[in-house]
Structure 1
Amino acid sequence: MMELDKKILEAKKYIENYLDEKPDICLILGSGLGVLGEKAENQKIVDYSNIPHFPVSTIEGHKSRFVFGRINNIKVAIMQGRFHFYEGYSMKETAFPVWVMKSLGVNKLIVTNAAGGINTSYRPGDLMLIKDHINFMFTNPLIGPNLNSIGTRFPDMSNAYSYRMREIVKNVSDKLNIPIKEGVYASMTGPSYETPAEIRMLRILGADAVGMSTVPEVIAANHAEMEVIGISCITNMAAGVLDKPLNHQEVIKTAEEVKEKFIKLVTGIISEI
């Protein structure tokens, strides 16, 4: 058994000791969006710092813990906080929780993030359903020996954000009268925000929003043959779109303003998938 296999198994066993029932869906919540975790019933809290081999979140707006419970009677594992490449974690460490969730039997992943709007028709507070991504981190969590117990050496990424589940999201958004855009997410390493020239480049390449996360987890989830939904909260316009500097406080503030809409949409999605 490979070293990474061992770490996944040890983390899984630790978490299992706390659970009465195994989750069906995992949610990874981005900056300022962790409030959804408070909506779960029959909560079991597991701090990342107590789980063997788990990193911890160091960024404002990330609580650094799992909330296990039920939303609309669906069994969920909610990550209040994620791990970023720019924090100094390896790509494998950023993807590690996804593999642990797969080992627990989870086959569906809802991943969310706070993102900068590149598409000039977007406005802060918009929600964007991710239909595809561009990996501008120039590295990959699957580099190195393959985890044969989890997935194939060369996973297909042509349906990385499940078409079937995207159609469900669009139906839910229509039913709840919550407008949602659909676009391409570009992931950069951070932690510095992008330059106006980089944003112009990304726009030419077809990106609608940009952030510093999500792609490693989505690659890992596809490797593990999990179905993925990705939702970006457009918390600010990207560099050069508006004539003003960017800061993380604006990200948190906008996420706070859209939280009710976000919670309503995601809880609706959970019931339907």
Structure 2
Amino acid sequence: MTIFAMQEYTEQVEETVAWLGARLDEKPEYLIQLGTGLGELARAMEVDVRIAYEDIPHFPFSTVESHPGYLVCGRLAGKPAAILQGRVHYYEGYPARRVAFPIRVLSLLGVHTAIITNASGGLDPAMKPGTIMIFADHLNFLGDNPLRGPNIDAWGPRFPDLSRPYDPELQALARRAAEELGIAWICSGTYVCIPGPSLETPAETRYLRGCGADAVGMSSIPEILVAIHGGLRVLGLSVVANVNDPDNMAPILLDDIVRAARAAEPDLQRLIEKILHLDRPA
């Protein structure tokens, strides 16, 4: 990104922050981004404002049917929160910086904690569909980084540290919440982000597993990198919608992924609400 393009991007971010700030009675402290087939959490919120992405200046909007595209603000588990109901993806033609635009805006509105969710394909044969994986680490195979180009020092450091990308206290809190709720199928692992939209071949599946990944998807890392750059505490949660066996690959269909994600959604919703209820940030 050139200096002139970055100046335009900065102006767009600032305009969107001002536009949203004028419409929110209470600034959110938490943001929850909902992935494929995971849009129902907004029903549990005490809603103050619900705005379509298309109506928000400069917001990217989704071209994928399973991502409805609404910003919902209010209170969840008694905490001021913003839910991004759906996301955009690199494979839709957006650069990583534009994919993460909503996260940048919300970070500048005062959010201190980001819970990023998605649906993924399991690479660990011990997993089963419906498992919720807590991100312990990630691999960025997207081929793009939202922080590429001129850095805005007021937004974050030029070279953000990723030695501990996912907040250890939030990870522990997620495991505690799952135990208290009786959610048995939960694990920790490494998530790998690929460009898509084509799904993995058997050889690619073996390669990704050999690289140390436990689950694969086509989203989340641009948003996570911007959240970390902005100083947010980050928790990643992935619903494993299917498990890939490279020696016996079955067709992977989007409808099946959406169906499996929606089947696991009640547990994910209870888990996120419990995490917010238990969380006491310093």
- Compute the TM-score of the two structures, normalised by the length of structure 2: 0.94
Q: Distance in 2 between matches of 1:16 and 1:47?
A: 16
1:143 aligns with 2:148: yes
Match of 2:29 among 21, 24, 45: 24
Per-residue Cα deviation, 1:128-160 (whole angstroms, up to 9, x for no partner): 001000011122111100021100100001111
Counterparts in 2 of 1:72 and 1:241: CA distance versus 1, 3 Å: farther
The secondary structure found in structure 1 opposite 2:50 is strand
**Match in the other structure for 2:47:** 42
Match of 2:62 among 57, 62, 79: 57
1:187 aligns with 2:187: no
Match of 1:6 among 7, 11, 20: 11
1:238 deviates by 2.7
Contact 1:130 1:183 in 2 (8 A): yes
**Match in the other structure for 2:20:** 15
The secondary structure found in structure 1 opposite 2:54 is helix
1:259 aligns with 2:272: no
1:2 deviates by 2.8
The secondary structure found in structure 1 opposite 2:100 is helix
1:236 deviates by 1.1
**Match in the other structure for 1:88:** 93
1:13 deviates by 1.4
Letter in 2 for 1:236: N
Contact 2:202 2:249 in 1 (8 A): no
**Match in the other structure for 1:170:** 175
Contact 2:125 2:245 in 1 (8 A): no
Q: Distance in 1 between matches of 2:196 and 2:176?
A: 34
How many residue pairs get matched?
273
1:217 aligns with 2:223: yes
Per-residue Cα deviation, 1:25-44 (whole angstroms, up to 9, x for no partner): 00010000011111111331
Q: Distance in 2 between matches of 1:49 and 1:34?
A: 17
Q: Distance in 1 between matches of 2:47 and 2:204?
A: 45
Contact 1:15 1:46 in 2 (8 A): no
1:241 deviates by 5.9
**Match in the other structure for 2:124:** 119
Contact 1:120 1:241 in 2 (8 A): no
Gap regions ≥5 residues in structure 2: 1-5
Q: Distance in 2 between matches of 1:133 and 1:203?
A: 12
1:243 deviates by 3.4
Match of 1:250 among 246, 256, 267: 256
The secondary structure found in structure 2 opposite 1:86 is helix
Q: Distance in 2 between matches of 1:86 and 1:251?
A: 17
1:259 deviates by 1.6
Q: Distance in 2 between matches of 1:228 and 1:267?
A: 16
1:242 deviates by 4.4
Q: Distance in 2 between matches of 1:43 and 1:195?
A: 44
The secondary structure found in structure 2 opposite 1:271 is helix
The secondary structure found in structure 1 opposite 2:147 is coil
1:70-89 equivalent positions in 2, closer than 5 A:
70-89=75-94
What percent of counterpart residues are identical?
Answer: 39
1:239 deviates by 6.0
Q: Distance in 1 between matches of 2:227 and 2:40?
A: 23
Letter in 1 for 2:61: V
Letter in 1 for 2:56: I
1:231 aligns with 2:237: yes
The secondary structure found in structure 2 opposite 1:2 is helix
Counterparts in 2 of 1:221 and 1:243: CA distance versus 1, 3 Å: same
Q: Distance in 2 between matches of 1:149 and 1:63?
A: 32
